[in-house]
A and B are shown apart, each in its own frame.
Chain A
Amino acid sequence: MTAAAPPALETRARPRPRPPRHGSLRSWVARGGLTKIAFAIPLVVVFGYFSWWPIIDGVAMSVQRTNLVDAPEFVGWSNFAYVLSDPLLPKAIGNTLLFAVLSLLIGFPVPLLLATFMAELRGARRLYSVLAYLPVIIPPVVAVLLWKFFYSPEPTGLFNTVLGWFGAGPFAWLNSTGTVLPAIVVEATWAYFGSTTIIYLAALTSVRRELYEAAEIDGAGIVRRTWHITLPQIRGVVLVMLLLQIINTMQVFTEPFVFTGGGPNNASTTILLMIYNYAFIEGDYGAATALSVLLALFLGVVSAVYFAATRRLN
């Protein structure tokens, strides 16, 4: 029985070629190990010094009290207790979530629709790409100051003048607790939709033309083509962009800071604005970093849940 083993089994039983000896330093060097290290060092040093170390330092600071001059004092969890008991925190969380939701409702479909529309264009696509990307070139603070002018609550303000032609307004815009966040979201959408549109456009180029041609032959219009071909084909990019947008909007700072400073009546105070105030107004770096750590943990959890959910979807 054992003498006449079938050829397949014989092959399987043959000893594998010996793997390269990983333990040998000489062979590791010969395989280019040093070159790899040399390439990695600048990256590790730069990331370590400018990204990872500040993160570790920030986490350390969240359990300390420091004035940046004296030696810091270890205070345990008291910074976390302090920020969690801040009566402004629920409002800032509510504002941040509302901003994120409004941004998704307004800011998420706009670049997707625009990219789909632009992908359908033949001749003027480059021109539209440039036009869409133009707001991104304007520095964020300049854009905000420009829109602040548009949002002037006076009847002579730009938007109020235009709306006045139709008998509407004048509106208080940034001066009203009800309209301040939507107003900021509209500006933010305008400011950032260009880069997202370009990314979607790039993703759309990977969709095979034959699919569209076949659909067109079958009589599918633009809506059905978008729904049944475009969106499923670029789903991966869309899901990643959605996650990035959630993370970005949860960290919104520049717009409320420059537009309103968090007002009126804290109606546009976001979590990051609170962190800024702790650090730079109150000089309380412990509280600022404690809230930053909490936000980072929350976003980490959101990202993990999101990935798990989308993996299941896929």
Chain B
Amino acid sequence: MRTATKRSSALAVLLALTLGAAACGGDDGQDDPTRPAADEEVDLDADVTIKVGDLPPASEPEEREFFEGQVEAFMQAHPNITVEAGEEIWDVQTFQAKLAAGDLPDVLAVPFTEANSLAERGQIAELSQAMDLAGVSADLNPDLVGLVSSDDGGVYAIPTAAQALGLIYNRDLFEQAGLDPDDPPRTWDDVRAAARQITEATGATGFATMTTENQGGWMLAAGVYSFGGTIENPEGSEATFADQPAADYLELLRAMRWEDQSMGSNFLYNAAGLVEDFSAGRVGMFIGFSGLYRPAVIRNEMPAERFGMGPMPVGGDSDPTALTGGVIQVVSPDATPEQRVAAVRWIDFFYLGQFTDETVAVAQASAGATAGQAVTVPERPAVSQEAYDQYFEWIAPYLNVPITNFDTYIQAFGEQTLQPEPAVKAQEVYSELDVVVQQVLTDEGADVETVLDEAATAVDRLLSR
């Protein structure tokens, strides 16, 4: 009894200490660390060192050499800036740990989908002042910059590669099924018919979709937008997808899965797994971004001529709408104002220099072609259309991607509305939506409306947190 009392007391003391420590760590009214103070003087000529990530690993010697050469060239052009390059790449798990340890590189490439969540959590630096001071030479696409900006004018990242989701298809399977590979489906009804035809003629899965690792939710969001729906209200405080457009899209998936049997038997796909099966000729079509050409053709050795990409299918009477994706460069919130300026200069030089400097464009394309990389996959331009067209002219001799296979995708750029990610907690919402897609594809008795209502309740709870 006595021992028990002693133990309880010890536990109580430990708990009290812990709670005390927790309470002591309370907010002491510190200002937003992602923004430098407005009146802070920034010495542009001060010596500064920045750490940059995404140095290619030693297993890619040509690209690594090129990267290191660019670092040298940058430091010669900016004698007061020292760049230390490391191999850190974006990884959702290590990012958080490194952030906590104050060990993030100052510049890191991050998927577009993460921008809002990171900015909301204050885990990336605000860059508008640094961009003004550094004077970004590239003519950035204002639509894309708008997607990484807050309502009060804060800019949280610099987009360096942008893509719109579209329909990726296997041209060989199209031919085997008697479909025209130069005229991919434009509407979801066309997709359904083509999927049925591919499965009947070849036995392959006609259409598949990612369903795990938040990518299922991402694809569901793309489908909902293509039917004219939305995921959240503009304030990001409420789910808005429990309505007709989402129901229409899910009904389409349900019909393809259970009536047409054209969606195969694997419903636990992430992007890597789906691309693997697609490259092996086991999947006819899926929704993805053009950058998936690289894992399909370079890593999984799919013959390049079989890879085709068309625009995002249109649902019902909706206007053509494509969800955006791509790569942004973010800066550590721990970076000093001087480091932020240096970081922006590096991003402008290394990632956007190819759009303003022919020498850089040619050197990068040549190094990429020599290393057996894809030169280059068509994207939504991160810079103005003129700068992007000029860039393609410069690198024309090194192109090794069959650009004509993307013709319909590129032609649709002018007609499509670019749809940004949900403004608040996009990844978290996608995580909830994964389950919606899985349920419709694995449970024949699933009622679409009930499934959507349940997911909306879960998302509302998430958004209210």
Contact of B25 among A56, A71, A177, A266 (CB under 8 A): A71
Asked if A154 and B266 make an inter-chain contact with CB atoms under 8 angstroms apart, the answer reads yes
Interface residues on B, range: 35 or more
Asked if A61 and B30 make an inter-chain contact with CB atoms under 8 angstroms apart, the answer reads no
Q: Which of A11-19, A35-43, A241-249, A278-286 contacts B (4 or more CB under 8 A)?
A: A278-286
Q: Which of A103-111, A135-143, A194-202, A257-265 contacts B (4 or more CB under 8 A)?
A: A257-265
Asked if A61 and B22 make an inter-chain contact with CB atoms under 8 angstroms apart, the answer reads yes
Residues of B within 8 A of A70 (CB): 27, 30, 33, 122
A133-164: CB near B (< 8 Å → 1, else 0) gives: 00000000000000000001110000000000
Residues of B within 8 A of A191 (CB): none
Asked if A283 and B333 make an inter-chain contact with CB atoms under 8 angstroms apart, the answer reads no
Asked if A282 and B428 make an inter-chain contact with CB atoms under 8 angstroms apart, the answer reads yes
Asked if A281 and B33 make an inter-chain contact with CB atoms under 8 angstroms apart, the answer reads no
Given A261-B213, A282-B462, CB of A60 within 8 Å of CB of B21:
yes
Residues of B within 8 A of A71 (CB): 25-28, 30
Interface residues on A, range: 35 or more
Smallest distance from the beta carbon of B396 to chain A beta carbons, Å? 41
Asked if A175 and B100 make an inter-chain contact with CB atoms under 8 angstroms apart, the answer reads no
Once bound together, how far apart are the Cα atoms of A63 and B214, in whole Å? 28
Contact of A64 among B25, B121, B213, B442 (CB under 8 A): B25
Q: Which of B142-150, B218-226, B348-356, B433-441 contacts A (4 or more CB under 8 A)?
A: B433-441
Asked if B96 and A266 make an inter-chain contact with CB atoms under 8 angstroms apart, the answer reads no
Once bound together, how far apart are the Cα atoms of A175 and B257, in whole Å? 13
Asked if B117 and A283 make an inter-chain contact with CB atoms under 8 angstroms apart, the answer reads yes
Asked if A59 and B18 make an inter-chain contact with CB atoms under 8 angstroms apart, the answer reads yes
Asked if A282 and B425 make an inter-chain contact with CB atoms under 8 angstroms apart, the answer reads yes
B441-465 with Cβ < 8 A to chain A: 441-443, 457-458, 461-462, 465
Smallest distance from the beta carbon of A188 to chain B beta carbons, Å? 18
Residues of B within 8 A of A153 (CB): 265-266
B59 at the interface (CB under 8 A from A): no
A254 at the interface (CB under 8 A from B): no
Taking A280-B93, A283-B123 as known contacts, 20 extra A-B pairs with beta carbons closer than 8 A to each other, sorted by chain A number, are A61-B22, A69-B33, A69-B34, A69-B99, A69-B123, A73-B26, A82-B465, A87-B457, A153-B265, A154-B266, A259-B268, A261-B213, A263-B211, A263-B438, A265-B439, A265-B442, A280-B92, A282-B428, A283-B117, A284-B465
What are 10 pairs between A and B in contact, CB < 8 Å? A67-B123, A72-B25, A74-B25, A170-B265, A261-B434, A263-B268, A265-B435, A279-B96, A281-B92, A283-B121
